[in-house]
């Protein structure tokens, strides 16, 4: 573990230099890692672990689309692919990567197989942090750990295949064996993390829920819609409005920010763009700060957790969700986006 100075604040960070893959492999050489769930994070984490030489099996509901996807990805029924319960029974480390609702539904089965010395692994702090609502209370004699990649499982896998790593946070909620740190860091390296930064379950879920509802998805989608609608209202074509709102951001500017930071991106645009961006940034920050304060309070108070749990308990929730997603998908802006993406030239 190293101490890294981030803007004047020292944080605990683990990199592959001080904890190389070989050390992670040696640490977990006698472990059986069962990845329960093959939805958002399951495919990327399990495939990366397998390609990195760890002993991995997958647990998934038989007959589901995800079961078929696991087979298509090379997992073999009866050898490396099992039912959820059979995988949990075989594991020494259970990677609990079902959805939050799925974790609640399967908890009694999983708890039955958490025998002393095993490890229970999460990639989201929801179930543990809001245990009074989820009922997920692990036995005292197992390690409870977390590795949360800062991106989707698809991104984790794509970056791994490209020889890159996606940064992840790590946390230890319960160290029953004295090996929780080595286990969690080994798993973090194994799933393909670029580097690992320390957090705890509560901070992970608070930041995650705030980020998803805020800048990563909710705020971003809302700001896209607001600017696109204003441009269309004032007579700009769908193509012009979409390119100016989404395409230029995602295809041109954000890669520059990712490479060198916002200041560098500003410095490499016209002086006209710089002046306007520097002036209006303050107005946008002040306008949205109260919204983010409300959002964080809703997350930290548990209100957002209650909304999620109640929504998932509804028998017709999936159908209702599809209707909301359909509204986005069939909006003029995102229909325009589908056509714009088709026109992107392929480089040979």
Active site members: 124
In sequence order, what are the residues at sequence separation of 6 or more whose Cβ sits closer than 8 angstroms to the Cβ of residue 179?
Answer: 143
- The rounded Cα 70 to chain-centroid distance in angstroms is 19
What's the CA dihedral at 45, 47, 52, 57 to 10 degrees? Answer: 90
Closest CA to 20 of 186, 180, 168, 143: 186
**Residue 240: CA count within 13 A, CB half-sphere:** 8
What are 169's strand-pairing partners? 148, 197
- The rounded Cα 319 to chain-centroid distance in angstroms is 24
- Using the Cα atoms of residue 118, residue 66, residue 131 and residue 89 in order, give the sign of their dihedral: negative
Distances (CA, A) of 191 to 171, 180, 313: 15, 16, 31
Closest CA to 115 of 97, 136, 83, 88: 88
Do 133 and 170 contact (CB within 8 A), yes or no? Answer: no
Which two three-digit tokens encode residue 266? 């500003």
Torsion region of 81: left, alpha or beta (phi above 0 gives left; psi -120 to 50 gives alpha): beta
For every residue of 112-155, DSSP letters joined together read: HT--TT-EEEESSSHHHHTHHHH-----TTSEEEEEEESS-HHH
In sequence order, what are the residues at sequence separation of 6 or more whose Cβ sits closer than 8 angstroms to the Cβ of residue 113?
Answer: 85, 88, 89, 91, 94
Which regions of the chain does DSSP assign to beta strands (E)? 2-6, 9-15, 33-36, 56-59, 81-82, 93-96, 119-122, 143-149, 166-174, 193-198
DSSP code of residue 346: P
């Amino acid at each position: 573990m190293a101490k890294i100075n981030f803007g004047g604040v020292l944080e605990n960070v683990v990199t592959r230099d001080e904890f190389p893959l070989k050390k992670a492999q040696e640490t977990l050489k006698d472990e059986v890692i069962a990845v329960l769930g093959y939805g958002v994070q399951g495919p990327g984490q399990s495939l990366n672990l397998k390609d990195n030489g760890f002993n991995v099996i997958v647990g998934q509901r038989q007959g589901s689309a995800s079961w078929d996807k696991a087979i298509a990805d090379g997992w073999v029924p009866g050898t490396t692919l099992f039912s959820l319960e059979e995988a949990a029974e075989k594991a020494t480390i259970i990677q609990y990567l079902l959805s939050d609702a799925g974790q609640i539904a399967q908890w009694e089965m999983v708890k039955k197989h958490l025998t002393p010395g095993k490890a229970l692994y999460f990639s989201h702090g929801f179930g543990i942090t809001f245990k009074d609502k989820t009922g997920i209370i692990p036995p005292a004699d197992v390690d409870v750990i977390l590795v949360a990649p800062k991106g989707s499982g698809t991104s984790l896998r794509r970056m791994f295949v490209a020889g890159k790593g996606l940064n992840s946070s790590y946390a230890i909620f319960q160290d029953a064996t004295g090996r929780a740190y080595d286990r969690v860091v080994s798993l973090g390296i194994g799933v393909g993390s670029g580097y690992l930064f320390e957090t705890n379950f509560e901070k992970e879920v608070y930041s995650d829920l705030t980020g998803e509802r805020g800048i990563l998805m909710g705020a971003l989608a809302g700001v896209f819609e607001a600017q696109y609608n204003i441009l269309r209202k004032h007579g700009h074509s769908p193509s012009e409005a979409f390119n100016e709102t989404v395409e230029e951001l995602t295809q041109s500017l954000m890669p520059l920010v990712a490479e060198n930071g916002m200041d560098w991106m500003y410095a490499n645009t016209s002086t006209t763009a710089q002046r306007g961006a520097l002036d209006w940034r303050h107005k946008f920050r002040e306008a949205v700060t109260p919204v983010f304060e409300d959002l964080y309070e809703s997350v930290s108070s548990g209100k957002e957790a209650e909304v999620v749990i109640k929504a998932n308990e509804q028998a017709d929730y999936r159908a209702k969700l599809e209707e909301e997603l359909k509204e986005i998908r069939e909006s003029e802006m995102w229909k325009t986006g589908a056509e714009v993406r088709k026109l992107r030239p392929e480089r040979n």
